[in-house]
Amino acid sequence: MCKRHQLLLLGACILFAGGCNKHILTDYRPLDRSGMWSSGIEQLKALNASDEEVSQLAKLKQAGVTDDTCVALVSAAHVHQHPFTSADSVANLEHAGFADPVILEIARADQLDTIGTDAVMLRLVGLSDPTVQTLLRRRMLGKPTLSSVAIGRLKNVGLTEKQILERINQGMTDQQAEKEATARENARNHSNTGFARIHGRRPG
């Protein structure tokens, strides 16, 4: 009977540990050293953060990300049933000047790694914040949108942000964008190859 109870207890412990996937031995000291407040660490303990996630967050803390944002990023990843592993994407967005609410919106859509790089490129193209946010929301909703490379091409040949958005709303593809950009470049180059006729007095 005693042996049976021991087996049942062992089985229950294994079931509990495996089913809940508890990270009871996670070392949170790197976060403490990185400057995270104890309240943030306690929230991460409640979220059952792993050592890998702690390492990711310590990197973000060094980049200046707030405690609240760190906790929210882990929470968003867990909602989608995977650990938070996108510190590099978040850091790149931060360095590109994206505000925390925008980064968290991307995180909650579970697309930090899929559209994070393109988001940075959109900012580098020189688009305004409202236009960048409009384009990012289209991507998060799965709507067809021109790539940052195609948008950059159109912008370089003189299209305004309003004109670019109009073409995106009309369903323009990257191939069509390249075709228009090339046509505009050719037209511009052709206009610069003309010569002015010199009018003067005819010889007597």
Q: pLDDT tens digits for 43-75?
A: 999 999 999 999 999 999 999 999 999 999 999
pLDDT tens digit sequence for 72-99: 999 999 999 999 999 999 999 999 999 9
Per the domain annotation, does 144 fall within a domain?
A: no
Per the domain annotation, does 52 fall within a domain?
A: yes
Alpha helices in the chain (DSSP H): 2-20, 29-33, 38-46, 51-62, 67-79, 87-95, 100-108, 112-125, 129-140, 148-156, 161-169, 174-191
At 41 the pLDDT is 97
Residues 6+ apart with CB under 8 A from 13: none
Per the domain annotation, does 3 fall within a domain?
A: no
The phi and psi torsions of 196 (rounded to 5 degrees) equal -90, 130
Percentage of the chain exceeding pLDDT 90: 78
At 23 the pLDDT is 65
Per the domain annotation, does 116 fall within a domain?
A: no
pLDDT band, very low/low/confident/very high, at 7 (cuts 50, 70, 90): very low
At 42 the pLDDT is 97
Per the domain annotation, does 77 fall within a domain?
A: yes
Total domains in the chain come to 1
pLDDT band, very low/low/confident/very high, at 14 (cuts 50, 70, 90): very low
| Integer Cα distance of 149 and 68 in angstroms | 34
- pLDDT surpassing 90 at residue 199: no
Per the domain annotation, does 73 fall within a domain?
A: yes
| Integer Cα distance of 164 and 152 in angstroms | 10
Per the domain annotation, does 175 fall within a domain?
A: no
Q: Which domain holds residue 45?
A: 23-85
Per the domain annotation, does 43 fall within a domain?
A: yes
